[in-house]
Amino acid sequence: MKVLVIGGGGREHALAWKLAQSPRLQAVYVAPGNGGTALDPRLENIPLTDVVALRKWAQQEKIVLTVVGPEAPLAAGVVDEFRAHGLRIFGPTRAAAQLESSKAFSKAFMKRHGIPTAQYETFSDSAAAHAYVERMGAPIVVKADGLAAGKGVVVAMTAQEAHEAIDFMLLDNKLGVSHNEGGARVVIEEVLTGEEASFIVLCDGRNVTALATSQDHKRLLDGDLGPNTGGMGAYSPAPVVTPEIHARAMREVILPTVRGMESDGIPYTGFLYAGLMIDPQGGIKTLEFNCRMGDPETQPIMMRLKTELFDVMMAATGGTLDKVELEWDRRTALGVVMAAHGYPLNPRKGDAITGLPRETEDTMVFHAGTVQREGIILSSGGRVLCVTALADSVKAAQQRAYEVADQVRLDGAQFRRDIGHRALRGQA
Ligand code: AMP
Ligand code: GLY
């Protein structure tokens, strides 16, 4: 049996690495993959990204299961394309992926179904958007409606910043947002405070299974300072998600979302990621939905998963998730992202990476923005590696991950020194 993972980041390396642990699989392909998936003898890169080309290749190779990593192919309809040709694939349809690909869609959906989220308004007219900011004042959050590779959200501390963000998103489009049908729109919403957590589940259209909890570090610099990024490190489990918060998140956010999608005629299949803001009283609001796993959350989560991912994915694509019990390593997994010089604005590419250690029972370096050229690994993107370690405590996992990260040589590498600090504070 042969399987395919679509994507080429750290998340996809982790998914493919986990799938390859199933002895029944004859081949695990990654399209397009990266330097890390090229190095692993159990994985094979396929240089395809076009949705129709992927579908034709999967038919020809008799791929039994495809797992989609990133949002772009989902928003481009890869699941619809594969299913229309009888191929088994895990992910949401294009319509369901709007939970992520359109902030206007997801906010209206949450309002309609009573799912807790920040108060907001949607605008396509910039004068009306500016007037709203004048009325509400700062701080305030401005979000582009379309996919923006993590760059479509501005938490504006001043009205001036909010006005600039509106002009960027509606007029200039300097953020590289791909606008949805109907043209450029922004969502403007109230600022929420509290602690963020990543709540990720699997859905087969009806049944829902939660993955282990996790928490990401969105800001570039130690102490949660500096610009927002795609994520500079993550760990699992996340102590902020207590059993009570877990139950509330399922009851107030996840289940109403899955039922709401079903009753709206757009049943949800795939990974569903709710970005939650948890306030000090234990109240929960939904910051956003992603229709995929988190990156880098996937890396520590996959390090902890003991159940065969292939079996889980087969159940999730067969409508039998209720028959699956996930088993987790009790240890903490913690991943530190090594990013390129200049990330996030202007990451430098083409730096040689040396000192990459071999995988061990408790450490693994997942690749993201890397390529293999003539046996050498070069950086090729903003987030380059995610050094991940398992240990009995957050502190020990942190120490182990940094020991490994310190062996890796990447010129100009940026990485935080405090991944896991919130969990450590909780344990102190
Ligand atoms: P989103 O893509 O909507 O999750 O936004 C990216 C990041 O911006 C989130 O992880 C938060 O850190 C921040 N953010 C988004 N919406 C809000 C909000 N309403 N209040 C405070 N921070 C927010
Ligand atoms: N780590 C956040 C995300 O994947 O969106």
Task: Determine the distance separating the centroid of ligand 2 and the alpha carbon of 11, expressed in angstroms.
Answer: 10
Ligand 2 center from residue 294 Cα (angstroms): 4
Residue with tokens 């996809």: 12
Q: Report the pLDDT value the prediction gives residue 173, as an integer from 0 to 100.
A: 61
The radius of gyration computed from the CA coordinates of the chain, to the nearest angstrom, equals 21
Please tell me the number of the ligand nearest to residue 287's CA: 1
Helix crossing, 309-318 with 10-19: angle to 10°?
A: 100
Name the residue with tokens 């979302």: 257
Query: Which whole number is the average pLDDT over 153-178?
Result: 83
Bridge partners of 32?
A: 7
Q: What 3-state class would DSSP assign to 212? A: coil
For residue 295 and ligand 2, the question of a CB distance below 6 A is answered with yes
Going by pLDDT thresholds of 50, 70 and 90, the confidence category of residue 177 is low
Q: Is the pLDDT of residue 172 over 80?
A: no
Ligand nearest to the CA of 219: 1
Q: What is the pLDDT of residues 256-266, one digit of tens each?
A: 999 999 999 99
Question: Rounded to 5 degrees, what are φ and ψ at 350?
Answer: 90, 10
Our answer on whether the CB atom of 100 is closer than 6 Å to any ligand 1 atom is: no
Q: What is the pLDDT of residue 147?
A: 73
pLDDT averaged over the chain?
94
Q: What is the pLDDT of residues 290-327, one digit of tens each?
A: 999 999 999 999 999 999 999 999 999 999 999 999 99
Ligand 1, atom 12: closest residue by C-alpha: 218
Long-range contacts of 55-59 (CB under 8 A, 24+ apart): 55/81, 55/82, 55/85, 55/87, 57/31, 58/4, 58/82, 58/87, 59/85, 59/87
The amino acid at residue 75 is A
Residue 112's Cβ-count burial label (10 Å; 0-12, 13-18, 19+) is: exposed
Torsion angle of C-alpha atoms 344, 349, 355, 361, degrees rounded to 10: 60
Confidence of residue 428 (pLDDT cuts 50, 70, 90): very low
Averaged over 392-416, what is the pLDDT? 97
Q: Whose alpha carbon is nearest atom 2 of ligand 2? A: 294
Residue pair 33/12 in contact by the 8 Å Cβ criterion = yes
Residue 120 CA to ligand 1 centre (angstroms): 13
The pLDDT value recorded for residue 180 is: 72
For 145-283, where are the E strands, in sequence order? 153-156, 186-189, 195-204, 208-210, 215-216, 219-221, 225-228, 233-236, 269-278
> Cβ distance 246 to 236 under 8 Å?
no
For ligand 2, atom 4, name the residue with the nearest CA: 294
Residue nearest to atom 11 of ligand 1 (CA): 287
Query: Angle between the 103-112 and 255-263 helix axes, to the nearest 10 degrees?
Result: 100
CA distance 372 to 352: 10
Q: Which residues pair with 117 in a beta bridge?
A: 286
Among all chains, which residue has been given the structure tokens 């390396």?
13
Cα(134) to centroid(ligand 2), Å: 31
The closest-lying atom of ligand 2 relative to the alpha carbon of residue 292 is 4
Pocket-testing residue among 100, 106, 141, 285, ligand 1, by greatest number of atoms within 8 A of Cβ: 141
Q: Is 219 in the pocket of ligand 1 (CB under 6 A)?
A: no
Q: Rounded mean pLDDT of 390-414? A: 97
pLDDT digits (tens, 9 = 90+) for 88-102: 999 999 999 999 988
pLDDT class for 152, splitting at 50, 70, 90? confident
Between the alpha carbon of residue 353 and those of residues 114, 202, 383, 402, the distances in Å are 49, 35, 13, 17
Q: Three-state DSSP class for 124? A: coil
Phi and psi of 182, rounded to 5°?
95, -5
